[in-house]
Structure 1
Amino acid sequence: MVVCQFIVAIIGTVLPKDPAAVKAMIAFICIYISFFASTWGPGAWVVIGEIFPLQIRSRGVALSTASNWLWNCIIAVITPYMVDSDKGNLGAKVFYIWGTLCACCFIYSYFLIPETKGLTLEQVDRMFEETTPRNSAKWVPHSTYAAEMGMTEKPVEKHVEHTSDHEIV
């Protein structure tokens, strides 16, 4: 995604009026959208649903959703001013800003988003108590929530009873 943003910025800066360059920019914007729509876009909703502790999960998801809507609104409002020729006059150079922000998101996610694959919500809470997001991929749960609550069956011991004629198992 970062690469697509910077390619659009470079092409738009070097060849702003070339029809082939404009087609290439449109193609890379579409590639960016497809990558975003299949990774970071829906992935953010999964992450916010898992990373908050159970006690504050509903409030955390609500605040994250409100923040998402707020920033989407801000971006939608300021972008026309950034690219308009009588205001910011950035044109395609705005993609340098978007590419840099995209790179910051990559760094943020690499260092601060934990790996929660295959864990229950309770195990994610326990993981945060015991490790850091950077080391979360190596963390292994010690037990399951059901075992901690005493909801699992105890192993059945095999008892063999001997009688004179046959054995009863």
Structure 2
Amino acid sequence: MIWGGLGMFVCEYIVAIIGVCKPDDRTATKAQISFICIYIFFFASTWGPAAWVVIGELFPLTIRSRAVGLSTASNWLWNCIIAVITPYMVDTDKGNLKSKVFFIWGSCCFFCLLYAIILIPETKGLTLEQVDRMLEETTPFTSGKWKPHSTFVADMGKAVHSDSDEKLSKTQSESV
């Protein structure tokens, strides 16, 4: 996800720089279109679907359904705001930013990247219950180093112990 955000940021700035340096060049316009397509690839393969995974995993079980609903509503609201204001930002008789608008979007990508690095915890390989416990014990920035204390099966009391498991655990505890 970090590489996707970085790729999106770089593509946005390249489009903006090309547009400022060569505003009416046909070859430059083709390069801009190419970098916009690369941006779409990065977004569609990382940030686009990852947002839905993150909101489905991060909230505590007790409020998850309401929080996902509010997150979805927020997503739609911001999409609507961006769709409404962008024409005013680029229109020649309004904001007249033209390609410079990509500096704004690229800066937004950069701040979203910082937000993700600092405030979105690493949940790879964890159950929802383990994510809840991790968030109680550590911060999002240091969550990548957190290891679960037990498995979901053991927490539910369904673990089956055999004689070899007991011998293994005794051997491990004696060697420590």
Q: Same fold (TM over 0.5)?
A: yes
1:2 equivalenced with 2:9 (yes/no): yes
Measured after TM superposition, the shift of residue 156 of structure 1 is: 4.4
* Residue type at the aligned position of 1:148: D
Measure, in 2, the Cα distance between the counterparts of 1:79 and 1:38.
24
Measured after TM superposition, the shift of residue 154 of structure 1 is: 3.2
| Gap runs ≥5 in structure 1 | 158-169
Measure, in 1, the Cα distance between the counterparts of 2:80 and 2:31.
28
Instruction: State, as a whole percentage, how many aligned pairs show the same letter.
Output: 71
Superposed counterparts of 1:1-150, under 5 Å: 1-150=8-157
Q: CA RMSD in A?
A: 1.3
Measure, in 2, the Cα distance between the counterparts of 1:150 and 1:70.
44
Higher relative contact order (CA 8 A, sep 6+): 2
Measured after TM superposition, the shift of residue 145 of structure 1 is: 2.5
Instruction: Show structure 1 runs of 4+ deviating over 4 A.
Output: none
Measure, in 2, the Cα distance between the counterparts of 1:142 and 1:155.
20
Question: Quick check: which has more Rg, 1 or 2?
Answer: 1
Measure, in 2, the Cα distance between the counterparts of 1:7 and 1:44.
25
Measure, in 2, the Cα distance between the counterparts of 1:78 and 1:98.
12
| Gap runs ≥5 in structure 2 | 1-7, 165-176
Q: TM-score, normalised by structure 1?
A: 0.90
* Residue type at the aligned position of 1:113: I
Question: Which secondary structure does the structure 2 equivalent of 1:141 belong to?
Answer: coil
Tell which deviates more after alignment, 139-148 or 99-108: 139-148
Measure, in 1, the Cα distance between the counterparts of 2:128 and 2:162.
26
Measure, in 1, the Cα distance between the counterparts of 2:79 and 2:54.
18
Measure, in 1, the Cα distance between the counterparts of 2:64 and 2:72.
12
Measure, in 1, the Cα distance between the counterparts of 2:55 and 2:62.
14
| Aligned length in residues | 158
Measured after TM superposition, the shift of residue 148 of structure 1 is: 1.9
Partner of residue 153, structure 1: 160
Measured after TM superposition, the shift of residue 153 of structure 1 is: 1.9
Considering fraction of residues, name the structure with more helix: 2
